């Protein structure tokens, strides 16, 4: 199969589907479902059937981003982007008849439910990873193909030798979106250079940072995009087997991924002889049992193998010695979701977006005390101030801003003074925090930073696997000291001991969890030391 064949297939699908004049898209991602999207979809479906006057179709789609305003609905012509749609917020089942009545061109939208699409939340985003989110039906293989899906994979398989694929990824400057920011092209070429034989591709979807839901949203909105990225990676490095390691706490994402794998296999886009080529690639899902540490690659592999989810010393790195000792490529969900457009548009295209050392866009999950809680995608290099105050809409209830925590329990907080910094991997590092997977927790002036540090330390303490001493016991002692400070019973000696423990745990822990566990303490100490000192007994 080549690109022309795929275009024919998409045209055939389009014909058979008899595209309607207008689509009513209902967000069916986890956050809108939790605020009642299912009855809304049912009511719309029921109402749509009675409408003989026009050709309208109700469709469940993925995340539109503005989760705090869910359930969200978009009314638009098929395939039209979100900005051209009429978006309704906080919709209930009772609103369905009114929405349907005003759906057709020429009628007036329901103003009381309307969510303006010219607000910065929509206009300032740049959607690459999320370009299909909120537009295609995540359960529909045909929908993905009609939206141009699998073109990148077909192009790679039919026109590009593996080395060219790797070259494009390298040229793009894409860096790992799971948090470390390791150059993706370099990782791919390392695994590709290992002698031919059994190799594996793993997608790390064990998203566990408090307040982060980027990977969940991507998998719930556009699972085929991730599978396509994995297949391209497998082709490039010479693997024939892939695993998606996804946490069991994401049942909806797992369900959609399962459906996607089944449908792609049936259509010949996964499995043996993919698209009538000699390339075989099979994907299996592995469920994580709720351990944060399994997001660490060596622990993840141990868990996939069926062992205890504990990290092991690196080197050897997975690229050399991975699953069952074979060379293994591990990338994050968002990284894989970036691959298809890189192949389609060329690596140079992505390299033209973002900052000098961080290319492309980044998906962030906005949480905490912020007006527009939800999912956004912006160019690398966007200022934190723009993300929080423009796109995020600022702090609710007239409160002042205090800090934003990035990178979850491995990251740190950024105070007001540094909000004008362009966000990329390296700039955040200079502030003592990190990009992480993309969680952003905004805190208003009422937040106590010792409590914030204690919260994240408690998280690390509970999530430590218990293998190495500094993480297992050090996090516990640090938590005890933070608790003592919060109770205003601590002395200056206790604060000194806390800082010493931070240093030791950071320097000696076996894996990233322990090495970064002190970061929230160190960063709050760096910017809000007076709060600690004030609370000393």
Partner 1 sequence: MPLPAPRTNVRVVTLNINGQDLSAREDETVIELCRENKIPIPSLCWMDGLSVVGACRLCVVEIAGSPRLQAACSTRVREGMVVQTSTDRLRRYRRILVELLFAERNHVCSVCVSNGHCELQWLAQTCGVDHVRMPYRGVGYSLDSSHEMFRVDHNRCVLCTRCVRVCDEIEGAHTWDVMGRGSGCQVVTDLAKPWGDSGSCTSCGKCVQVCPTGALVKQGTSVGEMVKDQQFLSILARRRSNR
* Beta carbon of residue 160, minimum distance to partner 1 (angstroms, whole number): 32
Stretch 477-536 residues interacting with partner 1 (CB under 8 A): 477, 480, 497, 500-501, 504, 507-510
Q: CA torsion sign, 74 to 75 to 81 to 84?
A: negative
List beta partners, residue 115.
87
CA nearest to 151, candidates 347, 11, 4: 4
Q: How far apart are CA 514 and CA 502, in angstroms?
A: 10
Strand partners, 247: 288
The CA distance from 413 to 307, in Å, is 35
Smallest distance from the beta carbon of 480 to partner 1, in angstroms? Answer: 7
> Which of 184, 171, 213, 201 has its CA nearest to residue 436?
213
Q: What angle do CA 34, 36, 39 make, to 5 degrees?
A: 135
Decide whether 184 or 298 has the Cβ nearer to partner 1. 298
Reference 170, options 418, 346, 417, 416; nearest CA is: 346
How many alpha carbons lie under 13 Å from residue 510 in its C-beta half-sphere? 18
Query: Using CB under 8 A, which residues numbered 13 to 72 contact partner 1?
Result: none
Q: Is 470 in the site for partner 1 (CB under 8 A)?
A: yes
Coil, strand or helix: which one is 302?
A: helix
Q: Mask 429-458, x = binds partner 1 (CB under 8 A)? A: ------------------------------
* Structure tokens that stand for 500 in this block: 């010493």
Tokens linked to 253: 């994402």
Nearer to partner 1, 273 or 308 (CB): 308
Residue 469 found at the interface with partner 1 (CB under 8 A): yes
Among 10, 467, 485, 521, contact with partner 1 (rule: CB under 8 A): 467
- Residue 329 phi/psi, 5-degree rounding, is -105, 125
The footprint of partner 1 on residues 63-82 (CB under 8 A) is: none
Determine if the peptide bond prior to 173 is cis (ω within 30°): no
Of 213, 212, 188, which is closest to residue 202 (Cα–Cα)?
A: 188
The residue among 347 and 520 lying less far from partner 1, judged by its C-beta, is 520
3-state secondary structure of 213: coil
> Given the complex with partner 1, which of 40 and 501 has the nearer CB atom?
501
Residue with tokens 């199969």: 1
Q: How far is the CB of 525 from partner 1 (least distance, A)?
A: 18
- Return the number of the residue (234 or 299) whose C-beta is nearest partner 1: 299
> Could you say which of 465, 482, 485, 517 contacts partner 1 (CB under 8 A)?
465
Closer residue to partner 1, CB minimum distance, 310 or 382? 310
> Smallest gap, in angstroms, from Cβ of residue 215 to partner 1?
22
Q: Give whichever of 117 and 476 is closer to partner 1, judged by the CB atom.
A: 476
Round to whole Å and give the CA distance between 43 and 187: 48
Nearer to partner 1, 77 or 466 (CB): 466
If binding means CB under 8 A, how many residues of this protein chain bind partner 1?
35
Sheet containing strand 86-88, edge to edge, reads 56-61, 22-27, 73-76, 86-88, 114-115
Q: Does residue 306 belong to the site contacting partner 1 (CB under 8 A)?
A: no
Residue of 252, 258, 321, 250 lying closest to 290 (CA atoms)? 250
| Residues 358 and 434 sit within 8 Å (Cβ to Cβ) | no
Closer Cβ to partner 1, 168 or 463, answer by number: 463
Give, as ranges, the residues between 334 and 363 that touch partner 1 (CB under 8 A): none
Nearer to partner 1, 100 or 511 (CB): 511
Stretch that binds partner 1, among 37-45, 57-65, 313-321, 386-394 (CB under 8 A): 313-321
Query: Does the protein bind partner 1 through residue 285 (CB under 8 A)?
Result: no
**Binds partner 1 (CB under 8 A): choice among 291, 330, 343, 485:** 291
Between 167 and 326, whose beta carbon lies closer to partner 1? 326
Rounded to the nearest 10°, the torsion over CA 141, 146, 148, 154 is 60
Q: Which of 49, 316, 352, 537 binds partner 1 (CB under 8 A)?
A: 316
What is the nearest approach in angstroms of partner 1 to the Cβ of residue 468?
5
Which residues, numbered 201-240, are part of the site for partner 1 (CB under 8 A)?
none
Q: At what angle do helices 519-534 and 449-463 cross, to 10 degrees?
A: 140
Residues with Cβ within 8 Å of 323's Cβ and at least 6 positions away in sequence, in order, are 200, 202, 243, 301, 304, 305
With CB under 8 A as the contact rule, which of the stretches 23-31, 228-236, 258-266, 312-320 interacts with partner 1? Answer: 312-320
C-beta of 256: minimal distance to partner 1 in Å? 29
Residue 422 binds to partner 1 (criterion: CB under 8 A): no
* Residue 158 interacting with partner 1 (CB under 8 A): no
CA distance 123 to 393: 13
Q: Can you give the binding site for partner 1, defined by CB under 8 A?
A: 291, 293, 298, 308, 312-313, 316, 320-321, 325, 461-470, 472-477, 480, 497, 500-501, 504, 507-510
């Amino acid at each position: 199969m080549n690109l022309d064949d795929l275009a024919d297939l998409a045209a055939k699908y389009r014909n058979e589907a008899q595209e309607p004049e207008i689509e009513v898209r209902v967000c069916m991602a986890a956050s809108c479902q939790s605020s009642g999207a299912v009855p809304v979809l049912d009511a719309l479906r029921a109402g749509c059937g009675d409408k003989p006057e026009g050709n309208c179709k109700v469709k469940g789609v993925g995340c539109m981003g503005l989760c705090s305003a869910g359930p969200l609905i978009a009314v638009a012509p098929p395939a039209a982007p979100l900005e051209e749609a009429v978006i309704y917020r906080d919709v209930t089942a009772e609103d369905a008849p009114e929405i349907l009545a005003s759906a057709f061109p020429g009628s007036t939208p329901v103003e009381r439910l309307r969510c303006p699409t010219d607000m910065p939340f929509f206009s300032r985003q740049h959607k690459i990873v999320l370009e299909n989110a909120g537009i295609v039906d995540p359960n529909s293989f045909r929908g993905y193909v009609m939206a141009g899906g699998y073109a990148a994979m077909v192009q790679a398989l039919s026109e590009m030798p593996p080395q060219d694929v790797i070259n494009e990824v390298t040229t793009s400057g894409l860096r790992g979106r799971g948090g470390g920011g390791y150059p993706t092209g370099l990782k791919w070429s390392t695994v590709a250079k290992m002698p031919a034989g059994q190799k594996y591709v793993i997608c790390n979807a064990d998203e566990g940072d408090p307040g982060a839901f980027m990977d969940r949203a991507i998998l719930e909105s556009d699972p085929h995009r991730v599978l396509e990225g994995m297949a391209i990676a497998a082709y490039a490095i010479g693997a024939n087997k892939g695993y998606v390691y996804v946490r069991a706490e994401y049942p909806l994402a797992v369900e959609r991924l399962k459906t996607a794998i089944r449908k792609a296999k049936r259509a010949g886009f996964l499995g043996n002889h993919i698209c009538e080529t000699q390339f075989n690639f099979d994907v299996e899902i592995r469920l994580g049992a709720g351990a944060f540490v399994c997001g660490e690659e060596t622990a993840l592999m141990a868990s996939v193998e069926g062992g205890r989810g504990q990290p092991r010393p690196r080197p050897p790195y997975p690229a050399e010695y991975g699953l069952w000792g074979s060379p293994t490529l591990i990338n994050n969900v968002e990284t894989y979701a970036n691959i298809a457009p890189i192949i389609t548009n060329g690596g140079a295209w992505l390299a033209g977006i973002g900052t000098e050392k961080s290319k492309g866009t980044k998906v962030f999950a906005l949480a905490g005390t912020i007006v527009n809680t939800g999912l956004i995608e912006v160019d690398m290099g966007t200022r934190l101030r723009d993300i929080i105050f423009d796109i995020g809409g600022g702090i609710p209830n007239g409160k002042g801003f205090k800090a934003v925590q990035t990178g979850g329990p491995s990251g740190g907080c950024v105070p007001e003074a540094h909000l004008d910094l362009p966000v990329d991997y390296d700039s955040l590092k200079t502030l003592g925090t990190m990009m992480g997977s993309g969680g952003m927790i905004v805190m208003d002036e009422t937040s106590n930073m010792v409590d914030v540090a204690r919260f994240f330390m408690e998280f690390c303490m509970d999530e430590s696997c218990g293998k190495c001493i500094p993480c297992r016991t050090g996090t516990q002692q640090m938590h005890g000291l933070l608790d003592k400070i919060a109770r205003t019973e601590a002395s200056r000696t206790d604060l000194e001991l806390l800082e010493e423990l931070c240093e030791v745990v950071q320097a000696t822990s076996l894996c990233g969890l322990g090495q970064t566990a002190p970061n929230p303490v160190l960063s709050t100490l760096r910017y809000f030391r007076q709060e600690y000192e004030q609370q000393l007994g």
